[in-house]
């Protein structure tokens, strides 16, 4: 038990270090600006007033260490800084984009787990069988395809040729929730990669479990196939999948940015890309900290869950 506690403590420590790394890395972006940061950010309108405004907004006249401390203290209070272009707090922009992104993310995550596990179990029912070959081929093929290319093809086929769904979310604005048809293609494009990776892991885990001595023993005891498969083999197959679930969050974050750009959904990804286009560094930094911390926390959670599911396996850092 003390070994377990030790390992959990180490993992928590790593989580803390990762949090600090995200904050430092995001802060370092200001230092990476070439020459005078204020001049670099003023960009297209380099008049002295604008440069002064940027300098004041980002406290660039103070030493970096002091700025880091002030910025970190602000983060602890939920103050993410002030946008250079609109002058609004970054937290407000974040709140604006939160709804549409949640509308994309919630169905995606809700479908991801059953679809991934379902496909993995389905393929593992008979290794090398027709179902396994077809499912595995599709999973392998879609695994590395960028969302924007897949999304563009989905739009061409299902929105323009067949006319089943609207091609973009343009015109729905804040009432996106009442037009579920507009969400089908974005969610599909977003789901493709994570589902494939999850299902492949579940399939591999199920094949390993089904070939193990304890499953053979369970069969010898006369337990039904269903019970062996779902009550004995599946829980052990889920441990690596739980970890992968957190890794796919990285993909979902990337995916949300791309899918929102492709389908013109006014969510966090759009806010982020607009800020990147306008070189609004404080907004990008604020969003990056939030995205980064969400990833760190989910990875931490997944590793702890994995540890519960399969205590004997080493918890990957």
Partner 1 sequence: MAVAVARSRRGLKRIVVGRPGGAARGRGARRFAPGLLVVGVPLLIALAGPLFAGDAGPRGTSLTTGAGHPLGTDFTGRDVFREVLLGGRSVVTVALAATALTYAVALPVGFVCALTRRAWLEEVLMRPLDVLLAVPSLLVVLLVATAVQPGPARLATVVALVGIPDAARIVRAAGAEAASRPAVEALRMQGEGWVRLALGYVGRAVARPLAADIGVRLTGAVYLVATAAFLGVGVAPDAADWAVMVDRNRTGLSVQPWATVVPALLIVALTMGGNLLVDAALARPHRPEKNR
* Least distance between partner 1 and beta carbon 280 (Å): 8
Choose between 41 and 183: whose C-beta lies nearer to partner 1: 41
Kindly tell me which residue out of 75, 155, 188, 233 binds partner 1, with binding defined by CB under 8 A. Answer: 155
Contact 40, 34 (CB under 8 A): yes
- Alpha carbon 201 to its chain centroid, in Å, reads 18
* Least distance between partner 1 and beta carbon 178 (Å): 25
> SS3 of 89, please?
strand
Kindly tell me which residue out of 124, 150, 183, 242 binds partner 1, with binding defined by CB under 8 A. Answer: 150
Tokens for 252?
A: 């979902």
Conformation bin of residue 310: beta by default, left when phi > 0, alpha when psi is -120 to 50: beta
> Is residue 39 within the footprint of partner 1 (CB under 8 A)?
no
* Least distance between partner 1 and beta carbon 67 (Å): 15
Contact 12, 55 (CB under 8 A): no
Number of H helices, E strands in the chain: 13, 0
Contacts (Cβ under 8 Å, ≥6 apart) of 31: 37, 64
Contact 294, 101 (CB under 8 A): no
**Angstrom distance (rounded) from CA 176 to CA 219:** 50
Contact 104, 187 (CB under 8 A): yes
CA angle 155, 164, 157 (to 5 degrees): 35
Choose between 73 and 157: whose C-beta lies nearer to partner 1: 157
Choose between 176 and 253: whose C-beta lies nearer to partner 1: 253
Q: Scanning residues 273 to 302, which ones bind partner 1 (CB under 8 A)?
A: 273, 275-277, 279-281, 284-285, 288, 291-292, 295-296, 299
* Least distance between partner 1 and beta carbon 34 (Å): 6
- Number of residues forming the site for partner 1 (CB under 8 A): 63
Which positions from 232 to 251 touch partner 1 by CB under 8 A, shown as an x/- string?
A: ------------------x-
**Angstrom distance (rounded) from CA 87 to CA 73:** 20
Kindly tell me which residue out of 8, 167, 184, 223 binds partner 1, with binding defined by CB under 8 A. Answer: 167
Contact positions toward partner 1, by CB under 8 A?
A: 14, 17-18, 21-22, 25-26, 29-30, 32-34, 40, 127-128, 133-134, 136-137, 140-150, 152-153, 155-156, 160, 167, 207, 210-211, 250, 253-254, 257-258, 261-262, 272-273, 275-277, 279-281, 284-285, 288, 291-292, 295-296, 299, 317
């Amino acid at each position: 038990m003390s070994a377990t506690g030790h390992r959990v403590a180490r993992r928590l420590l790593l989580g803390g270090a990762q949090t600090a790394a995200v904050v430092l890395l995001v802060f370092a972006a200001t230092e990476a600006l070439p020459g005078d940061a204020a001049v670099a950010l003023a960009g297209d309108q380099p008049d002295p007033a604008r440069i002064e405004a940027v300098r004041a907004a980002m406290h660039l006249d103070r030493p970096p260490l002091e700025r880091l401390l002030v910025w970190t203290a602000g983060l602890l209070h939920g103050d993410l800084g002030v946008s250079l272009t609109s002058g609004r707090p970054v937290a407000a922009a974040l709140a604006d984009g939160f709804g549409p992104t949640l509308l994309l993310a919630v169905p995606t995550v809700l479908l991801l787990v059953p679809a991934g596990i379902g496909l993995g179990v389905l393929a593992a029912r008979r290794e090398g069988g027709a179902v396994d070959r077809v499912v595995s081929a599709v999973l392998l093929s879609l695994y590395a395809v960028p969302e924007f290319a897949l999304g563009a093809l989905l739009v061409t086929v299902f929105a323009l040729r067949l006319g089943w769904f609207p091609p973009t979310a343009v015109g729905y604005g804040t009432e996106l929730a009442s037009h579920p048809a507009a969400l089908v293609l974005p969610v599909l494009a977003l789901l493709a990669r994570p589902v494939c990776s999850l299902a492949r892991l579940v399939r591999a885990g199920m094949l390993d479990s089904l070939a193990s001595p304890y499953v053979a023993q369970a069969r010898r005891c006369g337990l039904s196939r269903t019970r062996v498969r779902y009550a004995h083999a599946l829980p052990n197959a889920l441990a690596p999948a739980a970890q992968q679930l957190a890794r796919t969050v990285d993909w979902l974050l990337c995916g949300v940015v791309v899918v929102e750009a492709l389908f013109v959904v006014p969510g966090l990804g759009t806010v982020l890309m607009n800020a990147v286009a306008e070189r609004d560094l404080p907004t990008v930094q604020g969003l990056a900290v939030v995205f980064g911390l969400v990833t760190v926390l989910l990875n931490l959670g997944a590793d702890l869950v994995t540890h519960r599911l399969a205590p004997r396996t080493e918890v990957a850092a």
